[in-house]
Structure 1
Amino acid sequence: LSHTAPIELAQTAGGTQPFWSPDGTQIAFFADGKLKKIDLQGSPPQAICDAPSPRGGAWGPDGKIVFSGSFRTGLEIVDAAGGAPSPLTKLDEARHEKSHRWPVFLPGGGHLLFVAQTSEAGAKDDASTIEALSMSTGARTRLIAANSSPLYSPEGYLLFWREGALRGIRFDARTLAVSGNVFPVASAVGLDANELAYATVSADGTLVFLPGTIAMRSTLGIVDRAGRRVGTVAESVLVEGGLDLSHDGTRLAVGITAAGARDTDIWIYDLARGTSGPLTFEEGGDRYPVWSTGDTHVLYANDGRNDGVLYRRSADGRGTLEQVASTASGLWSYGLSRDGTWLVAGIVTGPTSFDLMRYDIGSGKTTPLVQSPFDDVEGALSPDEKWLAYSSDHTGRREVYVRSLDGDTGRWQISTQGGGAPAWRADGRELYFVTAQGQLMAVDVQAAGAFRHSPPRMLFEAIFNNGEAYDNGRFYAPMPDGQRFVVATLKERTTSLLTLVTNWTTGAGK
């Protein structure tokens, strides 16, 4: 902190959730579906183990790292030198726990703090707690009701995020007991979608936090195959729930967080009339819209209960809201069959993380379409319903694949240098995807008989606003003829400077 300029560590592009070794000479982080470590002397990063969808880690004084490698499992432990991780905690099914995340070691390494999560932050009846775990016995001590990453201050405080502010309570790390009243520490502290509070405390009690939230506003525009703007849908909006274009190309459904709104709602943009308005008003966030055949209804996921309950509402706003699909942990839709009887759903399960399932609406039965220990996401059903395009990171880099839905076990890799967000042209003869560099690629498809495709070719490059790394929402959509595209491009990114606070404990809890 004595230097004004940050120092970039080589070969850490895409790295997230860094944490220090106990001696301060190394940094562990997550990237490319792996837990990695790097020293500060310029050595290349070393992979420690797999971590497909991480939610934090902590490096103990005994050379062990505790981490959440998949966000629907308990904590795992692995040697910092590398190797196979072992389970450390188990989700309590009686409490409907769905994740253990954001571990923090207490002094001495005999105990750690973590979040036992039962719901997404802000969900109704959220019973998530911050707990202490004994590393020797596995005993858990419940400390306080909260759903955010915990922080431990050596001056004897437990810090956590609640209702927009960083708050604290007195905490004895020896007896594992909290005391006194919860008190405010800093207002308007940022919290990300995975309940990570943007704050940290050093060994001497110095607090650093990021005020507010990071807002990435989009311009919703229409571009041609060369990327030239030919129309504007909305100049500056906060797209936090994906988008989907109606089959006739005349209306756009978008997950928008409007000014003053408590959460994300589905908005409908009439591209011909130039009008727009909210379609949903439910408690919780409404995201990932999908149009029905005939464009009469919109399906969407609401996260008020869990990862998503699917609802259907008439696209003109009339009629009653109808629940379409639900599971114990939740799901979201990537596409609906032509007859409306089944859908391609994204589901998160413990051992296999993100999976793609067929969900039969009448029976509620789920059948795996793509299931692996890695993140299999962004399912795109071909117009003839014979093929499923999707992205997976099983090679350590996200790539686009196509597999048959007719019982054939064949799988074809479409992208060659990384890619995601596949989408089909209405006739199924062209498939699109986006590279990590923001290039929209096109592939010619011949699917009569055996599946065949051309090499990818770039149509244009854009600064797509594709949200977070594991966001399930689409950020572009081809028009039916593939000659134009609706795109969400980055309009502006707003954030704040880091704030450093000393002596914040003066008067704390009094």
Structure 2
Amino acid sequence: MNATVVGPDSGAPFCPVCGLGESDGDEALPEDYFQLPTDWSHDGRFIAYTNTSFAVNVELKGDVWLIDIARGRRVVHLIRTPFHEANPAFSPDGRWLAFTSNESGRTEVYLQAFEAGESPRLVGERHLVSKRGAVSIRWARDGKELFYLAWDGRLYVVPIMLSLKPKIGEPAPLFSISLEARAAIHGVLGFDVSADGQRLLVPVVTSSEKSEIVVMQNWEAALQRNRGKIN
């Protein structure tokens, strides 16, 4: 693995994850997929990433995988379904995983208990967090709130009480993000939450310049005239 420039304290690694180690069992990593890392557990043991197909004319399909640093960077296929799961994000205590899935026909945020141990896995029920579609996820540092960007362009916060059966509150809209700024947000790395949960860091497009389209007519005649001047 190449050098990682952001570590588990910030949660978001910027590093390639292809070919880091052996996968569970005899399963090989697909060649027509690309890997997008989106979180690093706070104890430093796991890197979570999405393995997504980039094959032409193939429906978008992704699964959630882990790199188990403590076990020689072993690759673990954590979520394997017919649907597209992405954007995995560990809770600060490492006992829960938030992720997006389109199992309902629309991409939403889900929450599920995570067991590390010798064989890392998700257990128990999937709990729906969002209600209007979602594309990006970020935890508050105290684990009591989840933030996500919805399809309507607004950033939402959801109060959460983590327990054996987590209590998930109603999503509350915070503010809208411009279309240009939303284009800069990719997965969980697109925005961040301050340690006290009181400030949000989001991309802002400040340029007021407008792009112009120039149409040149009869350009061949102009080219001939310029050639004549050169000769």
Superposition TM-score, scaled by structure 1 size: 0.34
Matched, 1:467 2:171: no
Matched, 1:426 2:141: yes
Q: Aligned-pair distance for 1:480? A: 1.0
The answer to whether the 8 A contact 1:290-1:298 is kept is no
More helix by share: 2
RMSD: 3.5
Cα distance 1:496–1:366, how it changes in 2: closer, same or farther (>3 A)?
farther
Structure-to-structure mapping, 1:174-193, within 5 angstroms? none
The answer to whether the 8 A contact 2:154-2:175 is kept is yes
More strand by share: 1
Q: Which runs of 5+ in 2 are unaligned?
A: 22-28, 116-121, 221-231
Residue type matched to 2:198 in 1?
Q
Q: Secondary structure at the match of 1:356?
A: strand
Deviation per CA, 1:184-243: give whole Å up to 9, x if none. Answer: xxxxxxxxxxxxxxxxxxxxxxxxxxxxxxxxxxxxxxxxxxxxxxxxxxxxxxxxxxxx
Cα distance between partner residues in 1 of 2:218 and 2:20: 50
Q: Secondary structure at the match of 2:44?
A: coil
Cα distance between partner residues in 2 of 1:453 and 1:346: 25
The answer to whether the 8 A contact 1:290-1:336 is kept is no
Q: Secondary structure at the match of 1:373?
A: coil
Larger radius of gyration: 1
Q: Secondary structure at the match of 2:152?
A: coil
Matched, 1:497 2:213: yes
The answer to whether the 8 A contact 1:290-1:334 is kept is no
Structure-to-structure mapping, 1:325-404, within 5 angstroms? 325=20, 329-349=33-53, 353-361=61-69, 362-404=71-113
Q: Which runs of 5+ in 1 are unaligned?
A: 1-281, 302-308, 311-322, 505-510
Q: How many residues were matched structurally?
A: 197
Residue type matched to 1:440 in 2?
L
Residue type matched to 1:347 in 2?
N
The answer to whether the 8 A contact 2:145-2:157 is kept is yes
Matched, 1:300 2:14: yes
* Percent identical: 21
Cα distance between partner residues in 2 of 1:335 and 1:294: 10
Aligned structure 1 segments of 4 or more residues deviating by more than 6 angstroms: 500-504
The answer to whether the 8 A contact 1:290-1:333 is kept is no
Cα distance between partner residues in 1 of 2:78 and 2:144: 22
Cα distance between partner residues in 1 of 2:50 and 2:193: 21
Residue type matched to 1:325 in 2?
L
Q: Aligned-pair distance for 1:370? A: 2.7
Superposition TM-score, scaled by structure 2 size: 0.70
Q: Aligned-pair distance for 1:293? A: 3.4
Q: Secondary structure at the match of 1:409?
A: strand
Cα distance 1:501–1:390, how it changes in 2: closer, same or farther (>3 A)?
farther
Q: Aligned-pair distance for 1:498? A: 7.3
